[in-house]
Amino acid sequence: MADPALPVIPTSLVEVDVVRQWRDGVPGAVAVFDGASGPDLAAAAEPFDVDIAVLQAVGASATAGDVRALPLPAGGVGWVVGVGSGAAVQWRSAGAALARALRERLGEAAESEDEVGDLGDASEADYLQIRLPDSVDGDTVSALTLGLALGGYRFRVTGKPAPPRLRKVLLVAPDGADAEALGAQARRARELAAATSLARDLANAPSNIKDPAWFTGVAAELAADIANLSATVRDEKWLADNGFGGILAVGGGSSRPPRLLELSYRPKDVEGPHLILVGKGVTFDTGGISIKPAEGMHLMRTDMSGGGAVIGALLAIARLELPVRVTGLVPSAENHVSGSAYRPGDVVRHYGGTTTEVSNTDAEGRMVLADALAYAVDRLEPDLLVDVATLTGAMKVALGLRTGGMFATDGELADRIGQAGERVGEAWWRMPLLEDHAEDVKGQLADVKQTPPGPGGITAALFLREFTGGLPWAHLDIAGPARADKDYAEVVSGGTGFAARSLVEFAATLPEWGDFKGNPHADLH
In angstroms, the CA 503 to CA 316 distance is 10
Number of H helices, E strands in the chain: 15, 22
Side chain identity at residue 405, one-letter code: G
CA dihedral 341, 347, 352, 353 (to 10 degrees): -150
Torsions phi, psi for 391 (to 5 deg): -105, -50
Distance (Å, whole) CA 315 – CA 379: 22
Q: How many CB atoms lie within 10 A of CB 486?
A: 7
| Contact between 476 and 428 (Cβ < 8 Å) | yes
- The SS3 call for residue 125 is coil
Beta-bridge partners for 71: 77
In DSSP terms, 399 is beta-bridged to none
Pairing of the two strands 384-389 and 355-357: unpaired
Q: Which helix (H) or strand (E) holds 137?
A: none
Separation between Cα atoms, residue 169 and residue 157, nearest integer Å: 27
Q: Please report, as a single letter, which amino acid is at residue 137.
A: D
Q: Answer whether the bond into residue 10 is a cis peptide, omega within 30°.
A: yes
Instruction: Specify the DSSP element, H or E, that contains 272.
Output: none
CA trace torsion 376, 381, 383, 386 (10° rounding): -10
Contact 504, 317 (CB under 8 A): yes
**Burial tier of 507 (Cβ tally within 10 Å: 0-12, 13-18, 19+):** buried
Contact 302, 280 (CB under 8 A): no
Catalytic-residue membership of 292: yes
User: Rounded to a whole number, what is the largest CA-CA distance in the chain?
Assistant: 79
Q: How far apart are CA 303 and CA 313, in angstroms?
A: 17
Instruction: Tell me, yes or no, if 366 is annotated catalytic.
Output: yes
Q: Which of 292, 319, 402, 430 is catalytic?
A: 292
Instruction: Name, in order, each residue with C-beta under 8 angstroms of 47's C-beta and a sequence gap of 6 or more.
Output: 22, 28, 30, 78, 131
DSSP readout, 51-86? -HHHHHHTT---STT-EEEEE-TTSSEEEEEE-TT-
- Note whether 366 and 450 are within 8 A (CB): yes
Instruction: Report how far Cα 175 is from the mean position of its chain's Cα atoms.
Output: 35
> Of 105, 165, 366, 396, which is the active-site residue?
366
Specify the DSSP class assigned to residue 292: P
Q: Distances in Å between the alpha carbon of 219 and those of 15, 190, 383?
A: 23, 19, 24
Residue numbers annotated as active site: 292, 366
